[in-house]
Structures are given as C-alpha cells and as structure tokens.
Structure 1
Amino acid sequence: MAHQLVIILKNRQIGCTWLVAGYAIWKAIFRKAQNIIIISKGELQAAEVLDYCRFMYESLPEWLQPIRDKDRMGLLAFPELGSKIRALSATSAAGVGFGAASLVIFDENDFHPNDEDNYVEVKPMIDAGSGQLVILSAPNRTRVNSTFKRLWRGARKNENNFHPIMLPFGVVPHHTDEWFAERKKEYTPKDLETRYFKTEQEALSVTTAGKFFDMDALGIIASRGLDRPMENPDFDTRNGLVKIYREPVAGEQYIAYADPSMGKEDPSHVVIANAFTLEEYAHYHAMKPGGEVAVVFDELVRWYNKAKNSFEGNAQGGQAFREVVERLNTPNQQTRRDPFGKLIPGKKGYYMTHPLKREMFGNLGNLIYNRK
C-alpha cells in the first residue's frame, strides 16, 4: 500500500475486514520486525479478526509458513521474524504502551465507544516511524460528528493526509438492484439503511427510518428552499460561520434561540427568525464553546432589533453561555416557562428534560406534518 494513512468508508459484509486481515498477515510474514495492532469494537470482534489472520496463515503451503509462537489470547507471533499481530478491543486505553507500530488497523471504527481517545493515542505511534494507519468502517448512521466521519470529510476535502476509499453498494458483483429489492422484504427500513448505502451523502447522514418527524413533509418544506446567504451583510460573520439570509428591518420583531455546547463533540447552534412568520433570518452553526457562542448571540440579538431570546442551559456549555449573556446584559432575555406554559419568575434559559423535549417535538412535529 502506497499510502501511510488510509480511511475506508464501506458497506457491511463485503469482505473488507478479511482484506485488511490478509494485508496484516502478509506484512507479518514477509517483513521482519512488524508490530501490527488491530483494534475492534469489543473483545469478541478483536478475537474474530485475529482468527481471520490465523486461518489465512494455516491455509498457506507449509514452505510459506514461518514458525509461530504458541497461541495466546489476542496475539499471533512469529519469533524468528520478530513480527507479531496483536488484537485489542477499543477500550479507552487501547494501544497504550505498545511503542511504534508498523501497521494499525481500526476495524468498524465508527462503532467504537472510545474512538477519539484511541485515535489520539495511536496516531503518535504511526508518526514515530514509517508505519501505516488504516481506518475502515461502515457508517454508524446514529452518529453525525464521530471521529471517523470527521477524518473522512477531511480526507475528501484534502484537509488531512488520509487517502479516502469509498466502497458503496454494488462493489460486490451480486449486490444488484434486484438483490437489494429482495433484501427490502427481509429487513426493517432502519436495518436496511444502516447496512447499505449507495452514495456518500447517504452514508454520512443520520438514518431517517423510524424518525419522529414526517420525512415527506420535511422534503416538501426543504424543496421551498432558503435563499443563499447574503454575501456582504452588515454583520461580522466570523469568516462565514454566521449565515445572514435577511437583514433586520426597522419595526419588525424577531426571536432568537441558542443551543450551546462545549464545542468538542457537538456543534453549537443559534437561530434568528421573524417573530410572526417564523422565517429564518440568520443562523450560526459551529464547533465553538458556549462562552464564545454567547458573544455572537448577543451581537445578533441586538442587531435584530433586540430580539426576544432564550437558550438551552444544560451542561457546561449551557452554563458558560449563561454566564456570558448575564455579563453582557443581553437584552430581552425571556423568562422561563414550565411545561404547562406558566412563567417561572427570575429564571432564564431552559433545562431540556425528556418530558419537555417530547412536548416540544410533538408541537414541532404537528407543524411539520401540516407543512408549516
């Protein structure tokens, strides 16, 4: 393989794990002193990938089989060559203490529980020498901003050094449209969506099956289309992170809401809308911490005629946001209401609970269903 860093976005059950296992055993046998690490979701998955390597070794003619060490759990070693293949589960400490690696394989990485920790720990092992890192996975379509998807998007935009390879539906010869039609009879829509994708857009999107909102209605609403953001609005867009669709008009009333985060796992979001038509006038969507988002929020609120506003105050991101808007004395912060609409004096911002989310989703779902 000519590339040091490789990332593979693939469909399930196409033999890709067998392929990289074969590459691992080839390197271990035909290159000396290879330190190869395979990291899988759990212990059972790690053991299975190592079994693939053992099977291929045992299928070789005897004259091609180097002497191997006695079987040990999670390890396949060839002492005369100084090579070994180690299989690990994706714990937070996976890869710690193993030194420089010749090859590291992350198998089904988008499903790893500690994907970011593992990547941060393993990448320096590759950087320390001339090793290779191969990350492969079917898309976990319940996650949007995973480490795997972040690296994939970066590779596609040439923003990192990974070589991207996509293996969509159809790369297996018998996976035809007729074959897919038969599978539709045997799987639930959710299972089908999470197993097979035909385009990159499908792979990177969250599954629509079983979703709360009417997807056909959302499609109709989306088809109306938003205008393109203004090119030179009279506002600091932070290098395009703030999208302005309409500038404020004197005398009009606006509303604003913020969903801040810590800017690490989830993005923060701010939206400005017309108070009567609910037309979106501006939004801010960025992987930024709550305190920084609050400054942008304050500026937008003031610009849009001191828009009536509120925010989600959960967790550290919400707390940091709250502290900044209080310090800035952001105007027109609205008093919190309980789930029954009753005002709670002295309270600003909302703590999102499951009952409150269900009620809000229910109201929004009805609006969407009615194509509002």
Structure 2
Amino acid sequence: MSRINKSRQVAEIVKCGKDPVYFFNNYAKIQHPVRGLIKFDTYPFQDDCVKTFISERFSIILKSRQLGMSTLSAAYAVWMTLFQRDKNVLIIATKLSVAQNFITKVKTMIRGLPKWLVLPEIVTNNKQLIEFSHGSSIKAIPTSDDAGRSEALSLLIIDEAAFVRNFDELWMGLYPTISTGGRVIILSTPNGVGGQYYKLYTDAAAGLNEFKGIKLPWDIHPERDQEWFNKTTKNLSDRQISQEYLCDFASSGETFLSSNDIEWVRQICRPPRERTGFDMNVWIWEYPLSEHNYIMTADISRGDSKDFSTFHIIDVSEGECVAEYKGKIPPDRFAELLSEFGLKYNKALLCPENNSYGYATILKLKELQYPKLYHKKRKALYIGDYVPPKETDLAGFTTSGKTRNLILTKLEEVLRNKQVKIYSTRFYDELKTFTWSGNRARAMRGYNDDLIISFAIGMWLYDASEGYSVNSKDLNDAMLKGMKMVRKTYDDMPSAILEGRPHSAQSRDPRMNPDANNNKKINISSEWNNKLKIMKDHDWLLK
C-alpha cells in the first residue's frame, strides 16, 4: 500500500483493529520457502476459521498438513496483541524448536508491517517471548508437566496437540488459566484414536463440550486437486496418508490391528439380542444350541478399580462370539456369573485368567464345582469334569509377557483372516485405542483392554481346540501327540449343574427367535464339519 496521510492511517488502524482478516490480507507478510517474503492472502477456509476464533471461546481444529493453520494462528496472535491492551498469548508446541519457529513467524509479520501500524513499542524480544509496551505479550514454550500453569491467559494456542505427551494432564493444568474468559485454539493432525485431543475433538463434534470443532481435510484448499494429492502421497504409507492428509483418526495411529481389520469389526457390529445379568452388562447375540460346543474365557479385575472384569462365550461350531460381559464385579460374584452362563452354554469349557484376582474367582468356581475348567498340569493339559481345590493353581490361563504375546498374535491372525466374528461395539471401541507402545501392544492412557485380553485368550483356546488355522496346523498336530485327557466324574454333582442343561434349538427364548429358519447358519469352513465330529468323539484336546 502506497504512503498515506495521517487521517487515512488512523482509519486503517481502526479498520485493522476491528477486522483481523482485513489486517492479514492488506498488511501481513509471511515467509514462503521458495518465494521469500510474500503478502499473506488468506483462503476462504482460513477466513471462516478466524470468524470462529472471534465468535467462540473454544476452537479445536482437526487438519491436514500444509494448510497454513500455524501461520494463521501466529497472525491471529499478532493481531490480538497489537490492537488490544494487556493481552497475554501463550503458544504451546511439541518441542522447543517448534515453539521458537512460531515466534519467528510472529517477528516476520511484525517486521513487515508499516511502522505507523505498530503502535506499541516492543520492550522484550527474544527467541520465545515478545512483549509490548501496552502490556500485551506473545510467548511460545515447549510442552512440560507444568507448562503455562502460572499464567493468566487471554489466548492459549496448542499446536499439534495429538502429539503432545501427557496432554490429558497438561490440559487439566491449563484449563484454569483461561477460566476468567480467555480463549483457546487447539489444532492438530490426527494421531490415532484415543487420547485427550481425540476426546476433545470427538466430543466437540457431538456437541458434548464447549469446543467448536473444525475439520480441514486436504481438499478444502482451493488450489489442490486429485492430481496434487496423488503426487504428494505416492511415497507415503496408508497410515501416513491418513494422518497427514485425510483427517482420519482410526487409520492414523499405530493400532495393534490394521485399520482395515478394525473397520471389518466395525462393519459386523450389531446390537445384542438381549442385555441381561444383575447389571445388564451381559450382552447376548445368540442363545445356546444343544448340538453346539462353546468355550468361555475371562479377564478378571478387583471389581472396584479402573479395570473391568470381562468374559466371552464363543461358539466353536459357528466361529462367532455369542455372549460377552464387561462390568465391575467382585471376583467371587464374577465366579457365580461365569458359572451361571457357562452352564447355560452347554457347560462351556471355561478358561479364566488365573493371575492376581483370578485366583479368588477360580477358588469360587471350585467351590461351585463348575464341571469343565481348563487345566494345565506340567507339560500335559487336561479337562476334568471337576478337579479338587488342591489343584487350583493349575486351573485357568496364566498371562505372562510371553503368553500375552502369543494370545495377541493369535487374535491378530484370527481377525485378519476373518475366521471368527465378534459383534460387540464395546470390543470395537477397545480395538481403536489398543496401540503399539514400543514393542508392547497396550491400551492407550485412560482406556481399557480387558475385552481384548479375554477375547485373545478365547482365540488361543479356540485355535487349540479347533485346529482351524492353516499356519498352526502342523504345530497343533505335533502338540496333540504330547497331550493326555484326564476325566473325573462325581456322583454328588450339585443340582445347580444338573439344572443347568442347555436349551435345545426348540426351547430357546421365542422372543429372540421368531423365525426358526434363523437357526440355520453357514459354518466358517467346510473343513470344520469334519473337525467338529472329531471333537465330539474325543472331547476337548488343548495345547
């Protein structure tokens, strides 16, 4: 803009102070990596974001790469501190170099302005802080446990929040700093499902918190087309593309399962036919059939902690999960619940985890004389109709670092090959937040993996029982030669067991089976028909 007289300068100052978009497009300059210092011409989607920054106290942005949102945030901070007194702006970045780069952008814009437009003097100017004579300031810092806690903020900007370590704790400390009326802009590319940023954004999208959610995929930029996208992403992995350009939470993180496998689980999810149990947390998709065999596995917690006790009942005749539980229940009561539903499902082979609180559950199952518990004895495995309490330490599944890896590997194989169906949305939700942390797969901070562990034990037991896996067939055959069957029967079996005979196909709850033809199903594989006959002839053989 050419030289202008005093009265025009005053008019321009007033206009810029009222309208940040006008200020950006007429006076702000930015550093282009190729073209050098250029005029900051904003795009319509950026103008819309600025309007949201002004109208909403809380803004959260899910964005693609290379949309200029960090630059826009820096420009907004410059506008606020130049034209308003006593405004304290804090930018939190993932590391020191990123924080310093933010301040560099701020300085570039200020240096490019006409001198008459920069009314306050700069009294402090270093790599992380700019202070003005009228009391406003812009400070940029890397993340730390106490970042920003002592500040009283007018504007808080958190860059790449999905990648900020311990963001949940950081946000808890930062929120009071803007409680007196300050504003917040949180922006990031996605970094998988789970975490504080994911929760804030998804809750914002659902209208469950104070934030206004803004989604900016790659094609919102008016100068980008499919040709640009193909060229830019041709050397990237699917996960990198999802993270950098597609704004896709599910596909962007280092999840234990691939995004395609997680999506398959989502697609087959359906509501349970019945919700039952004392807390209504037993979900049933199929009722027991007398001609089918079932296995039941469980992961056990204390009952009042952050973790849950869980079980799955798997129909090995059909290759599907027919019932599931997730709730908080004391270990002894959980044993009663396991016994109740295990008996209903044809005295399902029951394999609870025997670590920690699982021992109390197994003791109670012994007291209840549950007829078919999974046992391990030395190098041979057997199933007894009832085993005296003195052998309690042999019952159930022992989860160690080694066995945990084995069952999770089996879980991944089964779901990748779509060999067992599970219809639970609760299980699907856990899969989304079950990620790699170094060399260990685990639930993300603040989330649970109790259903995953229970079902993983089930998949290991299912494979050992069924031998369906082509990759593990030779191993299973070899292990069968070293196994033995030990069966113990008792004349004084409790009446509860005798009364727990499974329903036949004809006696199932008619409310859940209005059409008898629904009982006819297609088995997972024709090979299983032969294996089922062998199982019925020889009972259960386990590795």
**With structure 2 as the length reference, what TM-score do the two structures score?**
0.55
The equivalent position to 1:311 in structure 2, one of 314, 328, 353, is 353
- Map of 1:124-139 to 2, 5 A cutoff? 124-127=176-179, 129-139=180-190
1:325-353: CA deviation from partner (whole Å, max 9, x where unpaired) = 46866866645799x88699716553342
Between the aligned partners of 2:72 and 2:239, the Cα distance in structure 1 is 27
Q: Give unpaired runs (5+ residues) of structure 1.
A: 314-318
8 A Cα contact 1:190 1:210, kept in partner:
no
Paired amino acid for 2:76: Y
Matching residue of 1:316: none
- Contact kept? 1:260, 1:267, Cα under 8 Å: yes
1:61 is the counterpart of 2:114: yes
Q: CA RMSD in A?
A: 3.7
1:123 to 154, 166, 175: 175
Alignment counterpart, residue 85 of structure 2, candidates 32, 37, 49: 32
Q: Is the contact between residue 110 and residue 138 of structure 1 (CA under 8 Å) also seen in structure 2?
A: yes
Change (3 A) 1:155 1:220: closer
User: Structure 1 residues 213, 75: CA separation in 2 closer, same or farther (over 3 Å shift)?
Assistant: closer
Query: Which amino acid in 1 is paired with 2:398?
Result: Y
Match of 1:140 in 2: 191
C-alpha displacement of 1:363: 3.3
Q: Secondary structure at the match of 1:39?
A: strand
Q: CA deviation at 1:185?
A: 2.3
Query: 61-70 vs 299-308, which deviates more?
Result: 299-308
Question: Using the alignment, how far apart are the partners of 1:32 and 1:214 within structure 2?
Answer: 49
- Alpha-carbon spacing, 1:44–1:280, altered in 2? closer, same or farther (3 Å): same
Aligned twin of 1:71? 125
2:139 match: 86
Map 1:1-372 onto structure 2 (within 5 A): 1-65=54-118, 66-78=120-132, 80-98=133-151, 100-127=152-179, 129-141=180-192, 144-197=193-246, 203-207=248-252, 215=260, 225-230=268-273, 232-236=274-278, 238=280, 243-248=283-288, 253-258=294-299, 270-284=311-325, 292=329, 298=335, 300-306=337-343, 308-311=350-353, 313=355, 319=356, 322=358, 325=361, 334-335=374-375, 346=393, 348-353=396-401, 355-368=402-415, 370-372=417-419
Query: 1:155 is aligned with what amino acid?
Result: A
* Change in CA separation of 1:89 and 1:345 when aligned onto 2, cut-off 3 Å: same
Check 1:365–1:30 CA distance in 2 against 1; reply closer, same or farther (3 A cut). same
Cα 1:165–1:57 change in 2 (3 A) is same
Looking at structure 2, the residues matched to 154 and 212 of structure 1 have their Cα atoms a distance apart, in angstroms, of: 24
Q: For residue 228 of structure 1, what is the amino acid of its counterpart?
A: P
Query: Could you say which structure has the higher helix fraction?
Result: 2
* Cα distance in 2 between the residues matched to 1:120 and 1:30: 30
Q: Tell me if the contact between 2:275 and 2:283 (Cα under 8 Å) persists in the aligned partners.
A: no
Bigger mean CA deviation after superposition, 269-278 or 45-54: 269-278
1:193 deviates by: 2.6
Report the CA distance shift for 1:210/1:178 in structure 2 as closer, same or farther (over 3 A): farther
Letter in 2 for 1:194: Q
Structure 1 residue 150 displacement after superposition: 0.8
Using the aligned pairs only, state the percent identity.
23
Q: SS at 1:13's partner residue?
A: coil
Tell me, in whole angstroms, the C-alpha distance in 2 between the residues paired with 1:51 and 1:268: 52
Q: 1:76 to 1:371 in 2, by over 3 A?
A: same
* Cα distance in 2 for residues equivalent to 1:16 and 1:312: 52
Using the TM superposition, give the Cα deviation of residue 361 of structure 1 relative to its aligned residue in structure 2, in angstroms. Answer: 4.1
Tell me the number of residue pairs that the alignment of Structure 1 and Structure 2 aligns. Answer: 345
Residue 151 of structure 1 aligns with an amino acid whose one-letter code is L
Cα distance in 2 for partners of 1:110, 1:346 equals 44
Q: Is the deviation greater in 188-197 or in 362-371?
A: 362-371
CA distance in 1, matches of 2:330, 2:66: 42
Deviations 1:309-338 (A, max 9, x none): 32385xxxxx5x547746866866645799
Distance 1:299 1:53 in 2: 65
Which string of whole-angstrom CA distances, capped at 9 and with x for unpartnered residues, describes residues 100-159 of structure 1?
2111111100000120111000111111x1101111111013xx2100011112112221
Paired with 1:190 and 1:55, the residues of 2 have a C-alpha distance of 34
SS at match of 2:324: strand
The question of whether the paired residues in 1 share the 8 Å contact of 2:62 and 2:189 is answered with yes
TM-score, normalized by length of structure 1? 0.78
Deviation at 1:256, TM superposition (A): 2.4
Contact 1:22 1:53 in 2 (8 A): yes
Question: Secondary structure, in 3 states, of the residue corresponding to 1:256?
Answer: strand
Q: In 2, distance between residues paired with 1:220 and 1:267?
A: 25
Q: CA deviation at 1:174?
A: 2.7
Tell me if structure 1 keeps the 8 A contact 2:191–2:253: no
State the match for 2:35 in structure 1.
none
Q: Structure 2: 5+ residue runs without aligned partners?
A: 1-53, 383-390, 420-543
Residue deviations 1:280-301, cap 9 Å, x none? 123356xx8xx65868854652
How far off its partner does 1:371 sit?
A: 3.9
Q: Aligned equivalents of 1:369 and 1:7: distance in 2?
A: 34
Question: 3-state SS of the aligned residue for 1:23?
Answer: helix
Shift of 1:197: 0.7
Which range moved further: 14-23 or 341-350? 341-350
Which of structures 1 and 2 has the bigger CA Rg? 2
Q: After superposition, give the CA deviation of every residue in 1:174-220 in whole Å (9 maximum; x if it has no partner).
A: 3322212222323233322321116xxxx22044899766947x767
